[in-house]
Structure formats: C-alpha cells, structure tokens
C-alpha cells in the first residue's frame, strides 16, 4: 500500500486479502462499471431504484451512508454470521443479533434468510424511545446508548423485525482488555438495557468490514455505501445500484414504510410469498 493511502476495507479472515486498499477497491469498481456498460441496458445501469437516487441526493456532503446486501442465492444457512457477530461483540450464545430463518418460497423451495437490524430510515424504535437512547448517526446507522437506556423495551415492541435483544442477565466476566463503552461498540452489554446489531460501524470507521461479513464462508453478505455507490463482500466488488437493479433486490417488509437499509437478492423468476 502506498504511503498515505487510506487503508479502507481491510479484510480480516476467511482467506480474504489483507491489504484490500481503497485504491484497489475503486480500481475494481471501475472495471465492474466497464463490464456493466457492455451487457446491461442503459435504463438498468443508471440507478437501482428511485429510493436509492433519493437517498443519494439527501446524502450530499456526507461521507458515507451504509447499507447491507444479502444475496440469498449464496446463503446456505450455516449460521457462521451469527457466530462471528457473537465473537466480535462478546455476546452469550443465547443472544443473537442476527437470526437465520429457514423459509419456503411459493414454489416449495427451501432457502435461508438472515434477519438483523434493518437500520430503518424511518425507524419506529427511534421514534418511541422516551429518553433518546436509540438514535441515528449521520451515516444512517442506528445505535443504542446503554448509559442512557432505561430498559423500558418500547423499542422492542415497536420494531417490526423482532431483532432487538433485552439484556436480562448480568454480563459474564469478560477480560477488561476487551471492554468498550460507546454506543457504537459496547462490551459487555449492560444488564437491564436493550442491544442490537450496529452494522459493526466501529469496524467500518477503521476501514474494516463487519464481522458477520468476514465470517460468511459463502460470501453472501455485502456492505455498501450509497454515497460512493459501491458494495463489497471483501473479495468481490460491485456498483451498488447496478447490482440491486440487475438482481431484483428487495427490502423486507418495505410496505410498512420503514425504509430499511438492508437489501436482499433472491434470484430471478422466484415467486416469493412470506
């Protein structure tokens, strides 16, 4: 890596290159764009969807607007993403910030679907929190300040995705070397408060990838940035809007108007019925 280059998107495990620099990332993105020009109709290579274009307009001047993409065609339901998350955040095995559901589509085909905090733009959890312990960061990630949380669980009742976890028990002893006390990264979880996925934003800020992503041996999980219109799973890189558009991406329970920042790809021709 050249001196002065930002060490973004550093890979962490599972054989992913360890020096996956921002320069290399953008080089590959450039190549992806050239390939797209030759094979995708012009209307499809502009933007993935109108809501992405709107977010990008609103994000002008911001450094990042993070999203996640799950390509369900690759997911085999192994639950390695859960293990990676629990290890990163020192969670007990009973606490799952990602749930992996085994579902059957309208054609009778089985598939796995990971569900985590959707980082909703119009988040019911943020709206109902009486003490503003749950809030949006400028990059779109929703965090919980456990020093402020009073454990009323109104956010859990309001969340339509059932992805928040109440910390009922006193935290197990964890080596003080791993302790952290910020809304972005709290270790251990404080008894009597609510916790949830933070998209590992503390790692994103360091130029690294979320733990669920680096734990996924199927390379089914991507993190993307609406501002730069890019996404990566640490090995492959795509133009975010083109990938979502070309693969008919959808958002879970989007009809509720929560505007989730998590996208799913199910493949073409499937008749999904959830």
Buried b (16+ CB within 10 A) or exposed e, 116-135: bbbbbbebbbbeebeeebbb
Query: How many C-beta atoms surround the C-beta of residue 210 within 10 A?
Result: 28
Q: Distance (Å, rounded) from C-alpha 102 to C-alpha 110?
A: 7
pLDDT of residue 46: 36
Task: Supply 105's token pair.
Answer: 């589509």
Burial 162-196 (b: 16+ CB within 10 A, else e): ebbbbbeeeeeeeeeeeeeeebbbbbbbbeebbbb
Taking a C-beta distance cutoff of 8 angstroms, is the pair 237, 41 a contact?
no
Q: So what's the pLDDT on residue 134?
A: 98
Residues 57-85: pLDDT tens digits? 777 777 899 999 999 999 999 999 999 99
Whole-structure pTM value: 0.80
Concatenating the DSSP letter of every residue in 131-192 gives: T--EEE-TTS-EEE-TTT-----HHHHH-TT---EE--SPPPP--GGG-EEETTEEESPPTT
Reading across the β-sheet that carries 262-265, which strands appear in turn?
Answer: 237-239, 230-232, 221-225, 66-71, 262-265
List of the chain residues with pLDDT < 50:
1-48, 273-274
Which pLDDT score is estimated for 267?
A: 65
Spatial distance between the Cα atoms of 144 and 137, rounded to a whole number of angstroms: 10
């Amino acid at each position: 890596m050249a001196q002065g280059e930002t060490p973004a998107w550093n890979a962490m495990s599972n054989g992913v290159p360890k020096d996956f620099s921002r320069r290399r990332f953008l080089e590959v993105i450039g190549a992806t764009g050239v390939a797209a020009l030759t094979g995708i109709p012009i209307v499809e290579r502009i933007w993935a969807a109108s809501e992405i274009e709107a977010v990008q307009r609103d994000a002008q001047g911001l450094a990042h607007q993070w999203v996640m993409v799950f390509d369900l065609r690759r997911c085999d339901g192994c639950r390695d993403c859960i293990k990676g998350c629990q290890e990163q955040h020192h969670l007990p095995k009973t606490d799952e910030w990602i749930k992996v559901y085994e579902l059957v589509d309208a054609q009778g085909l089985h598939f796995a679907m990971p569900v985590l905090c959707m980082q909703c733009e119009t988040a019911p959890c943020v709206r109902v929190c009486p003490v503003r312990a749950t809030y949006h960061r400028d990059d779109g990630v929703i965090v919980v300040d456990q020093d402020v949380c009073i454990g009323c669980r109104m956010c859990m009742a309001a969340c339509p995705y059932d992805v928040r976890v109440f910390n009922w028990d006193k935290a197990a002893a964890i080596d003080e070397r791993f302790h952290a006390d910020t809304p972005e990264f709290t270790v251990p979880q404080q008894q009597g408060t609510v916790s949830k996925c933070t998209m590992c934003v503390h790692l994103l800020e360091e130029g690294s990838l979320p733990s669920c992503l680096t734990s996924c041996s199927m390379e089914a999980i991507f993190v993307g940035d609406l501002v730069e219109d890019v996404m990566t799973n640490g090995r492959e890189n795509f133009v975010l809007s083109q990938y979502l558009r070309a693969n008919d991406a959808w958002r879970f329970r989007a009809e509720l108007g929560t505007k989730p920042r998590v996208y799913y790809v199910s493949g073409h021709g499937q008749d999904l019925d959830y």
